[in-house]
Amino acid sequence: MAGSGEHNRIAGRDSGDGVQSWIIVVLTLIFVGLYVASFTGLLEPLADDNMLVRLEPIIFAIIGYYFGRLPGQQNERTLRDEVNQKTQQTAEAQRDKEEALTERVALSEKIANAKTALASAAPGDTSTSQLAANLSGRSGTIDDLALRQSAAACLRILES
């Protein structure tokens, strides 16, 4: 459900940005329309040069904001999305690393348990180098039943 809350927040932000963009476009069109109408003489009260001089900075400020700030906001939003995506990828990689480490520890435990199971059938030295020689029967006699039981236990351990 956390994902749907994030989706709703982003959708609300996008709709708010859309409204803001449309308001700026409408205001720009109104001021440009007034400027053109007064410049061509269609509006008599605004026909004097004094009023045109007052409207020009407002129109240029609105157009400058529209072409300067809004693309900057879009770039900022894009960069934030990229940072969030990289953060998620980093978290996934960390999770994968932890899973691999856990699996490695479990496999090491299985190997140690399998060695212990096999060593129980071999008499004498149960070090890794001597275990193979002991189990092959070269270094002494081994009870076949004990060897079979330890091999079966080893297989159960490795299959678990």
**Does the pLDDT value for residue 144 go beyond 90?**
no
- For residue 138, tell me if it sits in a domain: no
Please tell me the total count of domains within the chain: 1
CA angle 10, 14, 17 (to 5 degrees): 140
The parent domain of residue 15 ranges over 2-97
Beta-carbon contacts of residue 149 (< 8 Å; ≥ 6 apart): 121
- pLDDT tens track for 31-53: 778 778 777 777 666 556 676 67
Phi-psi region at 151: left, alpha or beta (left = phi > 0; alpha = psi -120 to 50): alpha
- For residue 37, tell me if it sits in a domain: yes
Average pLDDT, stretch 149-155? 79
Which letter does DSSP use for residue 138 in this model? S
Tokens of 88: 């998620």
- Measured CA to CA, the distance from residue 35 to residue 58 in angstroms comes to 10
- For residue 44, tell me if it sits in a domain: yes
- For residue 56, tell me if it sits in a domain: yes
pLDDT at 3: 46
Average pLDDT, the chain: 75
Tokens of 48: 């004097």
- For residue 107, tell me if it sits in a domain: no
Rg from Cα positions in the chain:
39
- For residue 74, tell me if it sits in a domain: yes
- For residue 83, tell me if it sits in a domain: yes
- pLDDT tens track for 53-107: 777 787 788 777 777 777 788 888 999 999 999 999 999 999 999 999 999 999 8
Of the chain, the percentage scoring pLDDT greater than 70 comes to 68
pLDDT at 71: 79
- For residue 47, tell me if it sits in a domain: yes
In this prediction the pTM is 0.47
